[in-house]
């Protein structure tokens, strides 16, 4: 049986903590960052890992409450954003530095958790679940993630054509701007090609970028209307923090892992060993099994409570949960000491025939020697 749906709702504590920070300021502002990074990491240490797998053939009808959890996050996030903007704009109990901390904590929630829920929703077949996912992405001004993730990342992960696969020895602060720019440019190219294939121009109303711009514009307009440029800058800070959280997770999920080039621009099929796997129980509850990323890329249409975990021989394992790994990624020397030896062990295990990894390091294509 899948883990009960209510267990995955532990992330709902974040909007409550943000509300307390907005209402009272001071030490209450530390609640969201501490819960998102420290509490979950300590709980991982105490609870340990969970390697049990639910039956992947469990019908959707038995997962209704798990789906409700993903739907319920949407109004919570919107309320948290609108409430935080109101608090920093129209109340006088928060100093400017308190307002910045509040919006940073909000960005940790909207980026670390909100985009995780958005990721789950945009993978679904129903148009309205995809729409809910797009609303979450619009609230952090990162809607093109939808196009790039669904039509490029899943197809080209572990290859030079994927802007969010971190290369071996590429530090996060080099990766981050490349990933953000690559997400926007890749999404635009994808949507332009999809429109052209249907005989439509980029100015067509069916171009999703009109929808992306309008939905994000609503949040931007609200910030300006409530608090002017001050609120707008704080809202943009929230968006930046959220996007940084997302791309730090992308960095962790695929760092140094590449698919073997077969020649003529073709690569082997994506397998579980092309993503880092994490079995830390608390973080998997907090991030609705996002750490079971190896199975997500292997079976992208599988809902989060049914994602499988694997042992070391099938999928490479992260030494800690995402909160610790994301924090480590911000300090490249520490990250390299922790992860480069694991990447080398992964190469020896899965690709002993490849002796020259320089082309893969720099994201080039070349036949293995």
pLDDT tens-digit profile of 72-94?
Answer: 999 999 999 999 999 999 888 89
Rounded CA separation 253/276 (Å): 5
Which tens digit of pLDDT belongs to each residue from 156-215? 999 989 999 999 999 999 999 999 999 999 999 999 999 999 999 989 999 999 999 999
Cα→Cα distances 223→40, 83, 114, 137, 368, Å: 31, 11, 19, 17, 52
Q: What is the tens place of the pLDDT at every residue in 252-297?
A: 999 999 998 887 878 899 999 999 999 999 999 999 999 999 999 9
- pLDDT tier for residue 104 given thresholds of 50, 70 and 90: very high
pLDDT of residue 360: 61
Would you call 256 helix, strand, or coil by DSSP? coil
Q: Where are the alpha helices (DSSP H) in 167-305?
A: 172-197, 208-254, 281-286, 293-298
Is 280 in a helix, a strand, or coil?
strand
Structure tokens at 193: 């090609």
DSSP line for 28-50? GGGHHHIIIIIIHHHHHHHH-B-
Question: pLDDT at position 354, please?
Answer: 86
The yes-or-no verdict on residue 32 having pLDDT over 80 is yes
What is the rounded average pLDDT for all residues in the chain? 93
Please state, in angstroms and as integers, the Cα–Cα distance from residue 163 to each residue in 153, 158, 318, following that order. Answer: 8, 10, 22
**Tokens 């996912």 sit at which residue?**
133
Which of 162, 223, 147, 235 has the alpha carbon at shortest distance from 192?
147
Q: Tell me the C-alpha distance between 225 and 244, whole Å.
A: 26
The mean pLDDT of 220-247, rounded to a whole number, is: 96
In this prediction, what percent of the chain has a pLDDT beyond 70? 97
Task: For 263, list phi and psi in degrees, rounded to 5.
Answer: 100, 155
**Confidence tier at 366 by pLDDT (50, 70, 90):** very low
Kindly indicate the confidence band of residue 352, based on its pLDDT and cuts at 50, 70 and 90. very high
pLDDT score of 363 more than 60: no
Given this model, what pLDDT does residue 364 score? Answer: 44
**pLDDT tens-digit map of 2-21:** 899 999 999 999 999 999 99
Is the model's pLDDT at 317 over the cut of 60?
A: yes
d(CA 314, CA 211): 40
| 17-36 core/surface letters (b: 16 or more CB in 10 A; e: else) | bbbebbeebeebbebbbebb
Pairing relationship of beta strands 261-263 and 266-267 according to DSSP bridges:
antiparallel
Output DSSP code: residue 279: -
What pLDDT does residue 261 have? 84
User: Is residue 367's pLDDT more than 50?
Assistant: no
Name residues whose C-beta falls within 8 Å of residue 51's C-beta, 6 or more positions apart in sequence. Answer: 279, 309, 311
**Can you give the pLDDT at residue 91?**
85
CA-CA distance, 198 to 154, in Å (whole number)? 22
76 contacts 18 by C-beta, under 8 angstroms: no
CA–CA distance, 42 with 188 (Å, rounded to integer): 41
Whole-angstrom distance, CA of residue 107 vs CA of residue 81: 9
Tokens of 64: 């209704």
End-to-end CA distance of the chain: 46
Of 69, 78, 185, 71, which is closest to residue 130 (Cα–Cα)? 71
Average pLDDT over residues 346-365: 75
The confidence band for 369, taking pLDDT boundaries of 50, 70 and 90, is very low
Task: Output the pTM of the full model.
Answer: 0.94
Cβ(186)–Cβ(163) under 8 Å?
yes
CB atoms under 10 Å from CB of 199, counted, come to: 7
Helix axes 64-90, 115-122, angle to 10 degrees: 140
* Position 361 pLDDT exceeds 90: no
The pLDDT, as a whole number, for residue 359 is 62
| CA–CA distance, 40 with 290 (Å, rounded to integer) | 14
């Amino acid at each position: 049986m899948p883990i009960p749906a209510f267990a995955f709702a532990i992330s709902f504590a974040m909007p409550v903590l943000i509300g307390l920070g907005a209402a009272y300021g001071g030490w209450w502002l530390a609640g969201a960052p501490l819960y998102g990074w420290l509490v979950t990491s300590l709980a991982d240490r105490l609870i340990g890992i969970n390697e049990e797998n639910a039956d992947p053939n469990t019908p959707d009808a038995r997962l209704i409450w798990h789906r409700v959890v993903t739907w319920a996050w949407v109004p919570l996030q919107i309320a948290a954003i609108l409430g935080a903007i109101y608090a920093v704009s129209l109340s006088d109990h928060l100093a400017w530095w308190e307002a910045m901390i509040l919006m940073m904590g909000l960005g940790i929630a909207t980026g670390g958790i909100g985009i995780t829920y958005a990721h789950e929703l945009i993978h679904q077949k129903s148009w309205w679940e995809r729409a809910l996912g797009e609303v979450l992405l619009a609230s952090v001004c990162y809607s093109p993630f939808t196009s790039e993730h669904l039509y490029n990342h899943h197809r080209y992960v572990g290859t030079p054509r994927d802007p969010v696969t971190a290369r071996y020895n590429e530090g996060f602060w080099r990766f981050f701007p490349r990933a953000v720019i690559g997400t926007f440019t890749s999404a635009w190219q994808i949507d332009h090609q999809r429109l052209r294939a249907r005989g439509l121009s980029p100015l067509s109303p069916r171009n999703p970028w009109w929808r992306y711009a309008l939905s994000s514009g609503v949040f931007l307009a609200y910030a300006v209307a409530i608090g002017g440029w001050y609120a707008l800058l704080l809202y943009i800070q929230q968006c930046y923090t959220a996007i940084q959280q997302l791309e730090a997770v992308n960095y962790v999920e695929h760092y140094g892992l590449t698919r073997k080039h077969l020649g003529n621009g073709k690569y082997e099929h994506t397998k579980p060993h092309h993503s880092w796997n994490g079995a830390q129980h608390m973080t998997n509850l907090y991030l609705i099994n996002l750490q079971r990323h190896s199975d997500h890329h292997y079976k992208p249409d599988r809902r989060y409570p049914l994602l499988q975990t694997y042992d070391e021989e099938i999928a490479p394992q992260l030494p800690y949960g995402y909160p610790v790994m994301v924090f480590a990624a911000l300090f490249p020397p520490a990250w390299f000491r922790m992860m480069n030896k694991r990447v080398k062990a992964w190469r020896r295990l899965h690709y002993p025939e490849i002796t020259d990894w320089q082309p893969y390091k720099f994201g080039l294509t070349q036949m293995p020697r």
